[in-house]
Amino acid sequence: MKLKTILILVCFLIAIPIFSQKRLQPTPEEISLAKKLKEKFDKDDPVALLHSKEVITFGYDKKNDNVTVTNKITEKYISLDDRADISLYRFYDGQTSIKDFEVHYKNKRRVLVYFKDEAYNNDGLFHNDSRVMHTNIDFPLKGYKYTVTLTENIKDIKYFTQLYFTGEYPIIKKEIVVIVPNWLELELKEMNFEGFDISKDIQTDAKKQTKTYTFIAKNIPARYKESNAPGPTYTYPHILFLSKSYTQNGTKKPLFKETQDLYNWYKSLVNQLKNDNSAFKDKVAELTKNASTDDEKIKNIFYWVQDNIRYIAFEDGIAGFKPDEASNVYKKKYGDCKGMANLTKQMLKEAGFDSRLVWIGTKRIAYDYSLPNLSVDNHMICALVKKDGEIIFLDGTEKYNPLGEYANRIQEKEALIENGDTFILKKVPKAKPNFNTEKMNYNFTLKGEDLVGTVSKSYSGESRTYLLNILNNLKKDKKNEALKNYLNKDDINLKVSNIKISDIENRDVDLKIDYDITVKNAVSSFDGEVYITIDLDKELKTLELKDRNLDFIFSSKKNLESITTITIPDTYKITSIPNNLSIDTKNYKLLVDFKQNGNTIVYKKNFTIKNAKIEKSDFENWNTSVNKLKNIYSEQIILNKK
């Protein structure tokens, strides 16, 4: 009996592929469609979605008094390559759940795949409640099709903030259907629709008491896999959901109708804190007792937090929004941005200052607080209101950051500052590019076929902060070697010696590095002529922005002032020096200047990246400039024997 059952089962299992395989083979039409799509989209796209549909509906969870969201997703894939292997995955967390994640052949039969369900941690966070369900599927031939379905449930509408029309692969038709019941006040904000073929239709159903929004986007390319890109909120078309209020049993309850509502919710979480500062009372006293001015006191506390609290983030459920108690952070010596902000606030408070918590979105997010929504911000810092009313910001996650200097990632961003029951909105001040200046001073003499001389470098602003952070985190016993390798660029033609560096613990002054250098093989002599390659740094030479669709974003604004002086022996005369360059645009300035002064040549470079970005519209000009620069770098200084 048992054997029989097994045999029948085996036959049945084997029968499935024989039965279905016939109808799985791509038809000529499907193959030709795949070919057309391949030409239309990026050549690296292995598959496309012929149709992707998301149907959003809303419900009410009486028990928790929450509005719930359900998203039913159907995706029809076709392979554009002769063979494609892709992974299907979906993230979820404590607020969301996934069910009915299934894959079907084109004949509608279900594919037997196993979805792994794993905890997911991205690099920056130590722990969060994110999980991922994933599996791999293969498309054995061009034009092969699968349909993927799943349902996503979100427990609380607060966490349902945006839906994108773009995805990892190109989409021929993207449909987003939002069925809003009349009891829910929801605004659908259309973001970055310009330049895309997106249509909208609104239908009202009096019987069902709903309003249905149908958005159809056509021919949407895949998201670009480009480094140094602006955040997705700047570029890709999406709908931002502003849930304002809901009415149940005749009572209207607010969600995030106004910024005040968002603040109220944030503030309600902060109000749950006990703020027992006894753990660090003594520490604050110790840090402030010898400080003669308020600024010094603030500095001592701020720098102590930077230096002693490690960034380790737990973002599990409400911990993603509610700061940890300052005393916990103090005792643990680690925390996330909220924990550090809160500890900074409480320590300053303990020292008698008016300090506040600040919610802020970094530059990665395009929105400001005019759009009350949980996706507006992703960071928390501390603000200090001085006696004269001036507000300064303190970000404990930025290491070696001097008081009053702000990282590029928060500059010009709107800060939501705690102010009792109300709030203050203020932009973080913008820094000028020359705030982050790197100065290079090379002084060479030509000796035989070597360039011998001294170098003096100084770094201010974010260029200093960046270097101090690296230097201070190196292994003590490897620090000198690492510094040497940094200065000689791992090039055995550069011999660096006698290195002198300013105090790497002091973030309030410019970082200065002086050293001696010998450069081998920078000079070649042929037939009594001497050719010199003068530039050791050749900044920006690899930064040609080709095949790129998105603005290029730098980590900060840049300003380089480089002067190289080379003295040549009297027995030579200078016969040729490279050309100068002068380009000044909205976003960047590139100046190169060669001057001959007797038997010395002074080579100056002044490069400024004014707004920490090169815009796409600027790429052509930028590339022309970079190529001119590359030509200068490859040109030689030529000397002839007198």
Partner 1 sequence: MKFKILILAIFGFVFMANAQSKDELEAKEFFWGKNDKYKNANEIPDKWKNESAVVIYKNINYDYHKFGKRVTYKNSIRKRIKLLDKNAVEEFSKFSFKNRFRSTKGAYTWRSKGKIFFGIKIIKPNGKEIVVDVDKEAIEQDNGEKKIAIANLEVGDIIDYYYYSLEPFKSAYVYTFEPVEQTLSAEYPILNFKLYLETENDFFINFRSINGAPKLKEIKTEKRNFRKYILEEKDIEKRDFPRWFYPLAEVPAIKMQVYFARSGKFENQAMAFLPENEKIIKSTVSQNEILDLYDTRFRPTGRIGDVNDFLKGKTFHSNAEKVTAVYYYMRHYYLTRFIEAMIADKTNITKYSPYENYGYPVFIQNQKQFVRHFTRFLSRNKIPYDIVVATKRYNGNIKDLLIESNVDLVVRVNTKNKLYASFFSPHTNINEMSPYLEGTDVYLLSPSKYGKLVGIKGGKLPSSTYKDNLSFKEYALKLNDDFSEINLDIKTKLKGFSKVDEQYDRMIFSDYVYQDYKKYDTKDLISLIKGKKNRQQTKEKFAAVIKKIKDKQKKYFKEQAEAELTVGEDDIDAYSYKIEKTGRYKFADNFVYSESYKLKNHYIKKAGPNYILEIGKFIGGQVKIKDKNRERDANIYMTNPRSYDYKIILEIPEGYKVVGLDKLNKNVDNTTGAFISTAKVVENKLIIETSKQYKHNFEPKENWNLMLAFLDEANQFYNEKVLLKKVK
- The H-or-E segment that residue 35 falls in is helix 28-40
Q: Which of residues 563-622 bind partner 1 (CB under 8 A)?
A: 575-576
* Two tokens, residue 327: 């005393």
The answer for residues whose C-beta is within 8 angstroms of residue 9's C-beta and 6 or more apart is: none
Among the listed ranges 330-338, 385-393, 402-410, 433-441, the one in contact with partner 1 (CB under 8 A) is 330-338
Q: Which of 6, 19, 21, 370 binds partner 1 (CB under 8 A)?
A: 21
* 18 touching partner 1, by CB under 8 A: yes
Q: Which of 142, 145, 174, 605 binds partner 1 (CB under 8 A)?
A: 142
* 475 touching partner 1, by CB under 8 A: yes
Backbone angles phi, psi at 384, to 5 degrees: -125, 125
Q: Which of 390, 421, 527, 570 binds partner 1 (CB under 8 A)?
A: 527
- Neighbour tally for 367: CB within 10 Å: 21
CB 377, min distance to partner 1, A: 24
* Two tokens, residue 370: 């005019």
* 100 touching partner 1, by CB under 8 A: no
* 624 touching partner 1, by CB under 8 A: no
- 419 by Cβ neighbours in 10 Å (0-12 / 13-18 / 19+) ranks as middle
CB 312, min distance to partner 1, A: 5
Say if CB 563 and CB 466 are below 8 A apart: no
Q: Which of 9, 15, 17, 64 binds partner 1 (CB under 8 A)?
A: 17
Q: Residues 556-595, buried b or exposed e (16+ Cβ, 10 A)?
A: bbbbbbbbbbbebeeebebeebbeebebeeebbbbebebe
* 190 touching partner 1, by CB under 8 A: no
Four-point Cα dihedral 9, 14, 18, 20, nearest 10: 60
What track of x and - describes contact with partner 1 for positions 106 through 125 (by CB under 8 A)?
------------xx-x----
* 126 touching partner 1, by CB under 8 A: yes
The smaller minimum CB distance to partner 1, of residues 83 and 586, is found at 83
Q: Which of 64, 203, 209, 493 binds partner 1 (CB under 8 A)?
A: 493
The smaller minimum CB distance to partner 1, of residues 526 and 571, is found at 526
Q: Which of residues 229-248 bind partner 1 (CB under 8 A)?
A: none
Q: Which of residues 193-232 bind partner 1 (CB under 8 A)?
A: none
Among the listed ranges 58-66, 440-448, 484-492, 556-564, the one in contact with partner 1 (CB under 8 A) is 484-492
Among 392, 400, 398, 273, which residue's Cα sits nearest to residue 324?
A: 273
* 477 touching partner 1, by CB under 8 A: yes
Q: Please measure the distance between the N-terminal and C-terminal CA atoms of the chain and give it in whole angstroms.
A: 107
CB 154, min distance to partner 1, A: 23
Calpha distance 416→361 (Å, rounded):
9
Calpha distance 24→253 (Å, rounded):
52
CB 501, min distance to partner 1, A: 16
The smaller minimum CB distance to partner 1, of residues 398 and 418, is found at 398
The smaller minimum CB distance to partner 1, of residues 182 and 631, is found at 631
The smaller minimum CB distance to partner 1, of residues 207 and 475, is found at 475
Q: What is the DSSP letter of 521?
A: S
- 282 by Cβ neighbours in 10 Å (0-12 / 13-18 / 19+) ranks as exposed
Q: Which of residues 287-316 bind partner 1 (CB under 8 A)?
A: 308, 310, 312, 314, 316
Say if CB 306 and CB 399 are below 8 A apart: yes
Calpha distance 613→425 (Å, rounded):
26
Say if CB 403 and CB 394 are below 8 A apart: yes
Say if CB 361 and CB 377 are below 8 A apart: yes
Among the listed ranges 81-89, 244-252, 507-515, 613-621, the one in contact with partner 1 (CB under 8 A) is 81-89
Calpha distance 123→121 (Å, rounded):
6
CB 110, min distance to partner 1, A: 16
Beta bridge partners of 566: 444, 601
* 317 touching partner 1, by CB under 8 A: no
Say if CB 277 and CB 300 are below 8 A apart: no
Q: Which of 35, 99, 478, 573 binds partner 1 (CB under 8 A)?
A: 478
- Neighbour tally for 524: CB within 10 Å: 12
What track of x and - describes contact with partner 1 for positions 389 through 428 (by CB under 8 A)?
----------------------------------------
Q: Which of residues 538-567 bind partner 1 (CB under 8 A)?
A: 542, 544, 546
Q: Which of 27, 485, 582, 617 binds partner 1 (CB under 8 A)?
A: 485
CB 549, min distance to partner 1, A: 16
CB 138, min distance to partner 1, A: 6
- Alpha-helical segments (H) within 321-387: 326-332, 337-350
The smaller minimum CB distance to partner 1, of residues 82 and 295, is found at 82
* 520 touching partner 1, by CB under 8 A: yes
Say if CB 52 and CB 174 are below 8 A apart: yes
Among the listed ranges 139-147, 273-281, 508-516, 606-614, the one in contact with partner 1 (CB under 8 A) is 139-147
Calpha distance 518→495 (Å, rounded):
5
Q: Which of 524, 549, 617, 624 binds partner 1 (CB under 8 A)?
A: 524
CA 79 to chain centre: 30
Backbone angles phi, psi at 198, to 5 degrees: -125, 125
Encoded amino acid at 35, one letter: K
CB 471, min distance to partner 1, A: 10
CB 371, min distance to partner 1, A: 34
Calpha distance 4→64 (Å, rounded):
52
Total residues binding partner 1 (CB under 8 A) = 58
The smaller minimum CB distance to partner 1, of residues 308 and 422, is found at 308
The answer for residues whose C-beta is within 8 angstroms of residue 401's C-beta and 6 or more apart is: 306, 395, 407, 465, 507
Distances (CA, A) of 102 to 67, 89, 538: 27, 11, 53
CB 378, min distance to partner 1, A: 21
What track of x and - describes contact with partner 1 for positions 331 through 370 (by CB under 8 A)?
xxxx------------------------------------
Calpha distance 408→121 (Å, rounded):
26
Which chain residues interact with partner 1 by CB under 8 A? 14, 17-18, 21, 25, 81-83, 118-119, 121, 126-127, 138, 140-142, 308, 310, 312, 314, 316, 331-334, 472-478, 481, 484-485, 490, 492-493, 495, 520-521, 524, 526-527, 531, 533, 542, 544, 546, 575-576, 630-631, 634-636, 638
